[in-house]
Amino acid sequence: MTQAQYLNGLNIVEIGSRISVAVCASLLAEAGAQVFFIEPPEGRGQNGRKWASRGLYAAGKSSVVADSGNAGDRALVSALIAAADVVLISSDVGGAGWGELVAEHGETTIICDFTAFGQTGPMAGKPFGDALVQAMAGVAHTTGFADGPPVTLRVPLLEYSTGTYGASAIIAALMRRDQTGTVERIDMALYDSGVNALATFLPAHFGGKAPMRVGNQHAMCAPWNAYQASDGWVLLCSASNPPWERLCNVMGTPEYATDPRFSELDSRMENRDAVNEIVQNWIGQHSVEEATRLLMAADVACGPILRMEDGVNDANLRHRKMIRHVPDGIGEMRLPGAVLKARRGDGCVAGEIPVANSGHQQAAAFVETVTKTGKQGQSGGADLPLKGIRVLEIGQYTTAPLSTKHLSTLGAEVIKIEPPKGDAARDWLPKNDGLSIFFVMSNAGKTSISLDLKSGEGQRIFTQLLESADIFMENLKPGSIARCGFDADRIAEINPELIYCEISGFGADSAYEERPAFDTVVQAMAGLMSANAADGVPLKSGVSACDFMGGEIGLFFVLAALHNRARSGLGDYLDLSMQDIAVWMTASLWAADTDTQTPNQVLECADGYLCIDSPEPALAGGDMRNMTRAGAILELVKSGIMAAPVQTIAEMLEHGQTDARALMQMHEGPDGQLWPLLGSPMKFTSLQPDIAEVVGWPQKVDAAMRAKLKIGR
């Protein structure tokens, strides 16, 4: 199989100790970049963070062992930084002794710094880990059962999210460097990614309610839950009326589809307990296999809740080669496969784990080559790197809309194509003047048009739009666009230079052909829910982890493909699977000893909960139910234990760190009202992602719109 080389010729130096640094570098390597993996001498500083999974995060990179106190090693690393395009650091954690060396090259090399809170705000510099930032950002508050405590996720979700956003920010900075000669410094924060992950919870706050934990349910949809079958657990999701009607039919209770208590989404939310009881009674009479088979036949999104170790037997993960066994010098190590599946080649993955310092000679040779040839650059160009790029989106809910929203902030023109009835997310509550707050937050900066792709006129207009576009992203059920006459081959015929990215639950090339999926189904079938089980019950992340990570991964690989097209003139077709992405995220837990890991580092206080960074929270914190969170944190700090309050959504929005990072902004809409929009998690020294206008109702493609879109009749 040919491997993708989107970033061939790009050279990265990885120094920081955070997992986000390693994740960013691994994505860049998968897209074809050369990564020099700087690691300390054996036994020095290799505890925790990415070093706890050294094999996973070193795979596909060139290992260079370097001691910051050794003059020869410092000279080599200095030369590598000077010669490289990008250097990755984590200034708040690890990298001791390298900071001054990195700073010396900030005018010629793009520096991307991954920290807990970024370089600004009252929390800047605090070296919090993933769980503590989950607490501060409001993410932990959303995870757990309604009658239980908050739960911190075992998967380092914010490290992975920040590393992925960082990879996209790097491509944007490279484009800006090529266009203008400007060398950016990138400031990435776990906190910023955490706040951006709350898109399904923030609307309730702005609608006047206090978002709370909902267990395995959804904040805006019902039925959506984990249900116990006779021999295991089944996850079921219904986001609109049609799947609810099909579910009622398969359960043998069609009368519930028209029952006023359940016929509409808002009424089902008001009567959610009754809805759950109805579904549980039916699923409880069946085995996992029977229930999923019947539900899938009725086109209802569902899936069995798998353990992480079950992945090797999952038909789709085998089909997509997402679990590999790679030599590590002692035996074999289980690693995830390539997340990128593309027509021009899958992502680059390592055939073995590099031996420590095995890349030393390669690094020395690289330095000599670049020193002789020098770097090439241009001047002039647009302020925003994607100015002049046209993006088409046929997206629904979160995934593709998130990708294209960020493309818009980087300067792209985004045209959102909705069916005549509109994106289903327009129905999600709460609403402001008839518009869904969630929909507006997810689709800022786009031009929305209404198009019937089943009609001849709609297909003609879509063809013209494809001819004019640079990128096309969609996250419909696989086969939906093809049934309208636009499969990947036909789209490539229309526009060979187009980058077409399809994001779905299980991939277009899948053992589960045309299977519908939502975020929680994918969490269930990738081991995420089992990894986060509480009291024996599988538990999803409160935030839609697979949805937004699917959007982030799509954003990165589309930008990488665009970067490649600037050199090659070639478009591509990308087939991304949310299940692949979720399994890729769980890899850091595959070798973990689950018997010795604390599942929930949260303690109850008089005024809420706090999260502590200790392997044995009960022993470290004791009973703090009569203490305030602030008082308890002061006591813990005296013992050398880092702790943070588990902030509610309201507390997070009022915190000075949120304001300092411009993470929640109010923008005027076409109706004159102010709408809440999330600020970009990608921060640069001079490049300012544009949080653009509020999207309104979809417009018909009349003569005026044709002129605006610059397409013929």
At residue 614, what is the residue type?
Answer: S
467: tokens are 């001819």
Q: Give residues with Cβ within 8 angstroms of 330, minimum separation 6.
A: none
Cis ω for the linkage preceding 385 (within 30 of 0): no
Tell me the C-alpha distance between 388 and 408, whole Å. Answer: 11
Tell me the C-alpha distance between 632 and 620, whole Å. Answer: 11
- Strand pairing report for 499-504 and 471-474: parallel
Helix intervals (H) in 197-239: 202-206
Tell me the C-alpha distance between 159 and 20, whole Å. Answer: 4
CB atoms within 10 A of CB 386: 24
400: tokens are 């593709």
Query: Would you say 481 and 501 are in contact if contact means Cβ atoms under 8 Å apart?
Result: no
- Residue 662, burial from CB neighbour count under 10 angstroms (0-12, 13-18, 19+): middle
At residue 490, what is the residue type?
Answer: R
Q: Is 547 designated active site?
A: yes
Tell me the C-alpha distance between 419 and 552, whole Å. Answer: 24
Tell me the C-alpha distance between 37 and 650, whole Å. Answer: 40
> In 307-398, where do the E strands start and end?
323-327, 332-336, 390-394
633: tokens are 């944190």
Of 547, 572, 575, 580, the catalytic one is 547
Distance of CA 138 to the CA centre of its chain: 17
Through-space distance between the first and last CA atoms of the chain, rounded to whole angstroms: 42
Tell me the C-alpha distance between 147 and 262, whole Å. Answer: 24
Tell me the C-alpha distance between 216 and 704, whole Å. Answer: 46
Tell me the C-alpha distance between 130 and 463, whole Å. Answer: 45
Tell me the C-alpha distance between 167 and 556, whole Å. Answer: 6
Q: Give residues with Cβ within 8 angstroms of 449, minimum separation 6.
A: 415, 416, 417, 418, 698, 699, 700, 701, 705, 709
Tell me the C-alpha distance between 359 and 364, whole Å. Answer: 9
Strand partners, 412: none
Query: Would you say 225 and 282 are in contact if contact means Cβ atoms under 8 Å apart?
Result: no
Strand partners, 186: 112, 684
Tell me the C-alpha distance between 471 and 17, whole Å. Answer: 35
76: left (phi over 0), alpha (psi -120 to 50) or beta: alpha
Of 409, 429, 333, 419, nearest to 665 by C-alpha is 409
> In 458-607, where do the E strands start and end?
471-474, 499-504, 572-577, 602-605
Tell me the C-alpha distance between 407 and 415, whole Å. Answer: 11
Active site residues: 547
